Amino acid sequence: MSPEDNLRDRVTFLSSIASVWLSIKFIGILFPERYLDVLPGPWPLSALFLVAIAVAIYSICLFIAQRKFSLNTLNLPTVYPRFEVLIAAHNESSVIVDTLQNMLQIDYPNWQLTVIDDRSSDGTAKIIKAFCAEQGLSERLTVIERDSNARPGKAAALNEAFKASSADYIAIFDADARVEANCLRQAVPHLLEPDIVGLQFQKRVSNAEVNLLTRCQDFEMAFDTYVQVGRQSMNGLVELRGNGCIVLRSVVLALGGWDENSLTEDLELSNRIYLAGYKLAFAPEIIVREEAVLHAQAFYRQRRRWTEGSLRRHLKYAIRFWNPQSPLTFSQRTDVFIFLIQFAIPIWIFFDSMLEFTFLLLGSKSNITFLMLVSCIVGVTLWANIVVGVGRWRNLGPWAALRSGSLTFLYGFLCWPTIVIWTSRKILFGRRATTWVKTPRMLDL
C-alpha cells in the first residue's frame, strides 16, 4: 500500500469518526430536552442503544431470510462455459501435490488448471513439474513461474496468470483447497442467472478436529455461511472469500484485475463489482475445504490482516458507496451500514467504558449501568445469531448448537474487539499498512 493510500484511509477514517461525533452533538443541541428526556439514558449513550436495536432488528431479518432459503435446486447445465482454475502457490511444497490430485478429479468438460508458483524458495515449482511429468498432464495443467523480483502477493500472481487466460470464467482456489468433483457443474446454473458475474462457495475447515482453535474456526465459517445466505436472501452484498470463488473474466478485465495494493484482494474486488452495477451469488451447497490456523500467534496475525483489509476497502470506496448516483440499492446500502457497525460498536463501547469508569472513580454521575445494558443487548444478539447459524449450517440439534454456538461466541468475544481496536489504531496512527505473511500449513509445523 502506498503512503498516499495510507493517508487517504487515515483521513477518511478520522472524518467518519468526527462526522458521527458531530452528528450526535448536533442532535443533542437541536432537539429540545423534553424529547431527549424520554430516552432511556443520556443522548450519546442512547444513540449507541439505538444502534444496538438496529443490529437486533437486522438479526431478526437474517433469521427470517434463513427460514425462506432453500438449497439450490437448479438443473444441471446444458451449456458449459470454459473455466480456468487458478491456484497461487507460495512455498506450498507440503500441500500442493494433494491439492492438484484433488483438483484433477473435477468432472467438467471444458476447463484448464493453472498453478502460479509465486517466487517459492522451497522447490514448489519442481514438485509441480515432477507431478505433471509423472501423470502426463502437459495439456491439462499449466505452471507459471514468477520471477524472484516480481511484485509479491496473491493479487499480483493472479493478475499475471489472468493476462494469459482466455477462459469465460476464472475460478480461484488456495493451495490447500479441497473440492468435490461436481463443483464446476453445480456452479454454472448460478452464474447463468441475470446480472450474476461471480460466485462464492461455502467454506469449511478440513482439519477441524485438530484442536479447539481449528474447531472454533469451522464454526466461525458456519456463521459466515449464515450471514452470506441472509445477505443474499435480503438482496444485500454477497462477498468473495478468496478461496472457492468464481468470477466472469470479462468483468474482471473491465475492472482492471485484482488490486495489488489491497490486503484482501477478494473483498476489494467484491466492492468494485457491486459499484459497477453487477451482483455476486453465494452457493452454500458447493463446499470448498481449507486448513484452519493451528496456533494463536498465526491466527491473530491472519485475522488482523483480514480485518484491516476489510475496513480499508470500505474506506477506499466510502464516497462511492454513499453517493446518490451509485448503482447500489437501498437494501445494499443498509447491508453496508450494518456491516460497518460491527467495527464501530467495539470501539464505541471501549471508549464509553473508559469514560464512564473514569466518572465512577472520580465520584461523578456515571451511566455505567446503562452502558452495560447496551453491551448485553449487543452480546445477546450476536450470541443468538451464532447459535442459530452454527446449528443450521452444521446440522446440529438444539443442545449441540447451544454448546457449539456459545463456544464460538466466547472465541469471537476474546479476539474480535481486540483485533478491531488494534486495526483502528493501525489505520489512524500506523506508518504503514500491515504486510502479508504466509500462514504455515500443518505439515510445515
| Model confidence pLDDT, tens digit, residues 249-279 | 999 999 999 999 999 999 999 999 999 999 9
pLDDT tops 70 at residue 35:
no
Q: Cell numbers 490430485 correspond to what residue?
A: 101
Query: Hey, what long-range contacts does 11-17 have (CB within 8 A, 24 or more apart)?
Result: 12/315, 12/316, 12/318, 13/311, 13/315, 13/424, 13/427, 13/428, 14/428, 16/315, 16/318
pLDDT tops 70 at residue 398:
yes
Read off the amino acid at residue 63: F
**Can you tell me the mean pLDDT for 288-306?**
94
- pLDDT at residue 53 in the model: 92
Q: Which pLDDT band holds residue 116 (cuts at 50, 70, 90)?
A: very high
Q: Which pLDDT band holds residue 150 (cuts at 50, 70, 90)?
A: confident
- pLDDT at residue 73 in the model: 61
- pLDDT at residue 36 in the model: 67
CB 320 within 8 A of CB 432: no
- pLDDT at residue 74 in the model: 63
pLDDT tops 90 at residue 401:
yes
Read off the amino acid at residue 104: L
State which of 33-37, 48-52, 143-147, 239-243 shows the largest mean pLDDT: 239-243
From edge to edge, which strands make up the β-sheet containing 245-248? 141-145, 111-117, 83-89, 169-173, 245-248, 196-205, 279-290, 178-179
**Can you tell me the mean pLDDT for 367-388?**
92
**Can you tell me the mean pLDDT for 321-346?**
90
Q: Which pLDDT band holds residue 189 (cuts at 50, 70, 90)?
A: very high
* In the chain, % of residues over pLDDT 90: 63
Average pLDDT, the chain: 90
| CA-closest candidate to residue 342, choices 62, 138, 1 | 62
Q: Which pLDDT band holds residue 190 (cuts at 50, 70, 90)?
A: very high
State which of 206-215, 316-325, 428-437 shows the largest mean pLDDT: 206-215
pLDDT tops 80 at residue 6:
yes
pLDDT tops 90 at residue 101:
yes
**Can you tell me the mean pLDDT for 178-188?**
95
Going 57 to 371 to 37 to 25, the CA torsion angle's sign is negative
pLDDT tops 90 at residue 406:
yes
Among 18-32, 94-108, 400-414, the range scoring the smallest mean pLDDT is 18-32
* In the chain, % of residues over pLDDT 70: 96
pLDDT tops 80 at residue 435:
no
Torsion angle of C-alpha atoms 353, 306, 322, 200, degrees rounded to 10: -130
Query: Distance from CA of residue 426 to its chain's centroid?
Result: 19
Query: Distance from CA of residue 397 to its chain's centroid?
Result: 27
CA dist 214 and 292 (Å) reads 5
CA dist 173 and 155 (Å) reads 13
Per DSSP bridges, beta strands 245-248 and 169-173 are antiparallel
pLDDT tops 90 at residue 135:
no
Residues 6 or more apart whose CB falls under 8 angstroms from that of 39 comprise 46, 49
